[in-house]
Amino acid sequence: MAYLTAEETKSIRKALKEEFGKTLKFSVKNRHLSGVDIKLLSSTKWNLEANPEYDCEEGNGYGFGRISPWMTPKDEVKTLLDRIDTIAKTAPAKDGGKDWYDDSDMMTDYFSTAFYVFTDIGKWDKPFTYMGTK
Mind listing the pLDDT tens digit for each residue in 36-82? 999 999 999 988 887 766 655 544 444 444 445 667 777 888 899 99
pLDDT of residue 106: 82
Q: Could you count the other beta carbons within 10 Å of the beta carbon of residue 116?
A: 16
Cβ 97 vs Cβ 104: under 8 Å: no
Using pLDDT thresholds of 50, 70 and 90, give the confidence band for residue 115.
very high
Please check whether residue 124 is in contact with residue 133, taking contact to mean a CB–CB distance below 8 angstroms. Answer: no
C-alpha separations of 60 from 57, 74, 80, 108, 123 in Å: 7, 14, 22, 29, 24
pLDDT value for 30: 96
Q: Check residue 62 and give its pLDDT.
A: 47
Q: Are 12 and 91 in contact (CB under 8 A)?
A: yes
Q: What is the pLDDT of residue 60?
A: 45
- Report pLDDT digits (tens) over 72-114: 777 888 899 999 999 999 999 999 999 999 998 888 878 899 9
